Structure 1
Amino acid sequence: MPPRHLVALLFLLLAMVGCASLPEPASRHAVLLVSIDGLPADVPGSGRMPALDAIAREGTRAEWVNPSYPTLTFPNHYTLVTGLRPDHHGIVHNNMRDPALGRFVSKDASAHDGRWWGGEPIWATLQRQGGIAATMFWPGSEADIAGERPRHWQRFNGAVPVQARVQQVLAWLDLPPARRPRLVTLYLEQYDVAAHAAGMDSDRAMRALATLDAGLAQLRDGLRARGLGDNVDLIVLSDHGMADVRGEDVRYIDDLVPADAILPEYGGQLMGFAPRPGREREVEAAVLGRHDHFQCWRKGELPAGWHYGRNPRIPAIVCQADHGWRVWMRHWPAQAALKGEHGFAPEDPGMRAAFVAAGPSFRAGTQLPAFDNVDVYPLLAHLLGIAPAPNDGDLAPLRPALRDARR
């Protein structure tokens, strides 16, 4: 063989070896989970958020999603990504006490301590099985849980506008294949904040919806501009709904029992407290049962459908206000004349959460009956093609919306 042919053959062999050593291109299929905190179930399809309505038309939406009890932000966001009820994953309230760990405050450093967070969030499930996850402000994502932290994450900062959050999500999807996440979560609290401050249908709340909808439009346009429209399953949901509460619609627990007889943990739409040692009988005789606009139970005797009451972080007595009311202490600060609230019973229609999804895995133009929010985690695992961790959810209610419902 002539020398020049040997040289050509050597270059060909080297090229073949080089190509064989390159990693297979990473799949561009990803799952993007967006939470709009407090968004009521009746907003999708109402015309108030045109971009959200367009996503629903392209894919599926649920009549509503049943939130877990209590209908608060941290417990339900963590349920969405673990498939566990709050009683099981341990985030039983936004603010709570643990016999060993002390006090948990959702907006404090305690929320960054992985010892509070039970179960396995979907980003840990994915990364344990070789994938990459990114989280933008999702509750729980700032802690090391189950030995994992999202590969890409940011510490919560409410001053970061919606537009910048969306830009960061798109930037993560622009990363090279070896660093690109297959799961991205995005948390948006603007409607919840506005509704709490001024009422769920206030001008401020409506402006927040418009801002959020513009962010969803920006997100869809960004996916399409990158050629990802057919490669990303986009899910937009909420953790719970919202209801208006008037300042005068309040009942005081210390009208029933002396304030010095109890150790309150929290109040509002639900109130939790323990009797002071030695005063258990006095407190129980005064507060257990039905009252004007609220009801109280021992923690182990709450309604069975709430799946709540066994975790040691739940106070000995829990009181639940009726729709539009709160349970309070007289020496606590007065509340605003009108404000949006959640935390009511999960069967309260006002607490129904929203669910919209579109992408290559979802059938267009479908509507799902109501399902429980624990079912979102097995859906995420299914879309990512990974084995789910033990959970309380069930994929079956969502199968009719999937293109391949047999899987």
Structure 2
Amino acid sequence: MKKHITFLIVLLQTVVAFGQIDTVQKIVPGRKNSIEQQKKTYVILISADGFRYDYAQKYQAKNLLALSNDGVRAASMIPSYPSVTFPNHYALVSGLYPSHSGLVNNTFYDRDRHDDYYMGNKAKVADGSWYYGSPLWVLAEQQHLLSASFYWVASEAAIQNITPTYYYVYNEKIAIHKRISEVVNWLNLPAEDRPHLITFYFPQVDHAGHVYGPDAPETAREVHFVDSAVNELTKAVKTTGLDVNFVFVSDHGMTKVDKDHAIGIPAAIDTSKFIVSGDGILVELYAKNQAGVKATYNNLKQEAKDYDVYLKVDMPAKLHYAQTDDWHNRIGDILLIPHYPKVFNLYSKKINIGWHGYDPSVVKDMHATFLAWGPAFKPHTTIPSFQNVDVFNLIKNILGLTYTGKVDGTGKLADEILIPQK
């Protein structure tokens, strides 16, 4: 009986521990802005997950339209492939395609580690060894320019043993007014303690787009929520008296899919021979023995309907997702890509009406939003679509940071929209 009671106590403690949500701000002690860096400007990088390139106009987000009218508005921003959340948030801050940053999908298998990464696993998300490149906050902190994060993919992971000076573990329990208030508190700190780069994240539009679709009134409501919150944030930041630059982006768009005719697991896949990763818009097969790859590929090609089958070596170059781009050995040996608007459903789960992840050069609905305003930006400027990996160099240039590592982005965006320094 005693053993049973002890087991129940341990089980209860485990349940309580997993049920607890960490809403406490993390502060790394001992860091200061250098005297030189204290003179630098400020950037708030805002992401509204799933905020499709046309949502501001489609739903008349009046504040975002007005703010960007005084600054910069892009026709769209082109996400990296696959056009899903984790790889693209990291592409924005690292300047690297997903195949180069190592964050190749929301879920993937790492052959060298014999382990898988899953965005819902908080321990793995917070493990800095999964990520490559130097995200903007790491770059800033290395150069004695403080940063803060009210959420961003990988911001709670110690990448190169560095996190932002101020950050929160991701949760959706902290109210928007509290989050805005904390940003103002950060900007009101003494100059040596004040972050010059702040990241800020909204999940609401993506949630609504998945459940209700991109054309639903529920999605429109969340667009208006983000619009109102950004307006509140800009007004609150003005009270600090600081010249702050705002960059408003999204990671990808959203589209309506054929959820009633999803593709099940193909008969040619022998799960005893392959690790199967992914679902929806990209399925990756990792061979346990390379000898079986060619036969399975040939069988899949014969069976395929409503989807394409690729060997990793034959993936289209435009996707930057082939073997030559697989810097960290994390892309599957065989890849299955559904034809739009089809999706896979390998696990017999409920399929949402809204999805993303398709090739953005084929499905325009995958395109993301880019807006910017503040003293660093040219006023009343409209630019054509561009690749999201260019955002890294843009913000690096605004903050006057240096970086000699490899990036996939160019300096074209910065040249187009920044006011030249005198």
Name the residue aligned to 2:331: 314
Distance in structure 2 (CA, Å) of the matches to 1:161 and 1:326: 34
The verdict on how the C-alpha distance between 1:181 and 1:117 changes in structure 2, with shifts beyond 3 A counting, is same
Preserved contact between residue 119 and residue 146 of structure 1 (Cα < 8 Å): no
Task: Calculate the TM-score normalised by the size of structure 1.
Answer: 0.88
Q: CA offsets, 1:264-291, max 9 Å, x none?
A: 1111111111345353333111124894
Matched position secondary structure for 2:284: strand
Gaps of 5+ in 1: 1-22
The verdict on how the C-alpha distance between 1:225 and 1:334 changes in structure 2, with shifts beyond 3 A counting, is same
Q: Identify the match of residue 381 of structure 2 among 340, 359, 366.
A: 366
Q: Identify the match of residue 136 of structure 1 among 133, 144, 150.
A: 150
Q: Identify the match of residue 86 of structure 2 among 74, 77, 99.
A: 74
* Number of residues of Structure 1 aligned to a counterpart in Structure 2: 380
- Shift, 1:327, TM fit: 2.0
Q: In the TM superposition, what are the counterparts of 1:318-397 in structure 2 within 5 Å?
A: 318-329=335-346, 332-336=347-351, 338-347=352-361, 348-390=363-405, 391-397=407-413
Preserved contact between residue 262 and residue 274 of structure 1 (Cα < 8 Å): yes
- Shift, 1:263, TM fit: 2.8
Distance in structure 1 (CA, Å) of the matches to 2:208 and 2:259: 17
Distance in structure 2 (CA, Å) of the matches to 1:257 and 1:112: 32
Q: Identify the match of residue 52 of structure 1 among 43, 51, 64.
A: 64
Preserved contact between residue 88 and residue 98 of structure 2 (Cα < 8 Å): yes
Matched position secondary structure for 2:308: strand
Preserved contact between residue 67 and residue 239 of structure 1 (Cα < 8 Å): yes
Q: Identify the match of residue 274 of structure 1 among 283, 286, 297.
A: 286
- Shift, 1:198, TM fit: 1.9
The verdict on how the C-alpha distance between 1:289 and 1:350 changes in structure 2, with shifts beyond 3 A counting, is farther
Across the aligned residues of Structure 1 and Structure 2, the Cα RMSD in angstroms comes to: 2.2
Name the residue aligned to 1:403: 419
285-294 or 173-182, which deviates more:
285-294
Residue type of the alignment partner of 2:336: C
Gaps of 5+ in 2: 1-34
- Please say if 1:33 is aligned against 2:45: yes
The verdict on how the C-alpha distance between 1:392 and 1:266 changes in structure 2, with shifts beyond 3 A counting, is same
Distance in structure 1 (CA, Å) of the matches to 2:377 and 2:277: 43
- Shift, 1:232, TM fit: 0.8
Residue type of the alignment partner of 1:212: V
Q: CA offsets, 1:305-347, max 9 Å, x none?
A: 1111232111111111222211233xx12324x5211111121
Name the residue aligned to 2:110: 98
- Shift, 1:165, TM fit: 2.2
Q: CA offsets, 1:41-81, max 9 Å, x none?
A: 11234453111111111101111111101111110101100
Distance in structure 2 (CA, Å) of the matches to 1:240 and 1:279: 35
- Shift, 1:153, TM fit: 0.5
Residue type of the alignment partner of 2:349: A
Identity of aligned residues (%): 30
Residue type of the alignment partner of 2:416: P
256-265 or 141-150, which deviates more:
256-265
Q: Identify the match of residue 231 of structure 2 among 217, 220, 223.
A: 217
Name the residue aligned to 2:203: 189
Distance in structure 1 (CA, Å) of the matches to 2:193 and 2:335: 46
Preserved contact between residue 293 and residue 334 of structure 2 (Cα < 8 Å): no
Q: Identify the match of residue 298 of structure 2 among 261, 264, 285.
A: 285
Distance in structure 1 (CA, Å) of the matches to 2:395 and 2:37: 22
Q: In the TM superposition, what are the counterparts of 1:122-271 in structure 2 within 5 Å?
A: 122-228=136-242, 231-257=243-269, 262-271=274-283
Distance in structure 2 (CA, Å) of the matches to 1:178 and 1:397: 30
Distance in structure 1 (CA, Å) of the matches to 2:213 and 2:158: 36
Matched position secondary structure for 1:318: strand
Residue type of the alignment partner of 1:325: K
Preserved contact between residue 38 and residue 242 of structure 1 (Cα < 8 Å): yes
Distance in structure 2 (CA, Å) of the matches to 1:350 and 1:292: 23
The verdict on how the C-alpha distance between 1:289 and 1:192 changes in structure 2, with shifts beyond 3 A counting, is farther
- Shift, 1:25, TM fit: 9.8
Preserved contact between residue 244 and residue 324 of structure 1 (Cα < 8 Å): yes
Distance in structure 2 (CA, Å) of the matches to 1:165 and 1:175: 16
Please say which structure displays the higher CA radius of gyration: 1
Name the residue aligned to 1:117: 131
Residue type of the alignment partner of 2:249: L
- Shift, 1:258, TM fit: 5.3
Residue type of the alignment partner of 1:397: L
Q: CA offsets, 1:200-221, max 9 Å, x none?
A: 2223222211211111010111
Task: Calculate the TM-score normalised by the size of structure 2.
Answer: 0.85
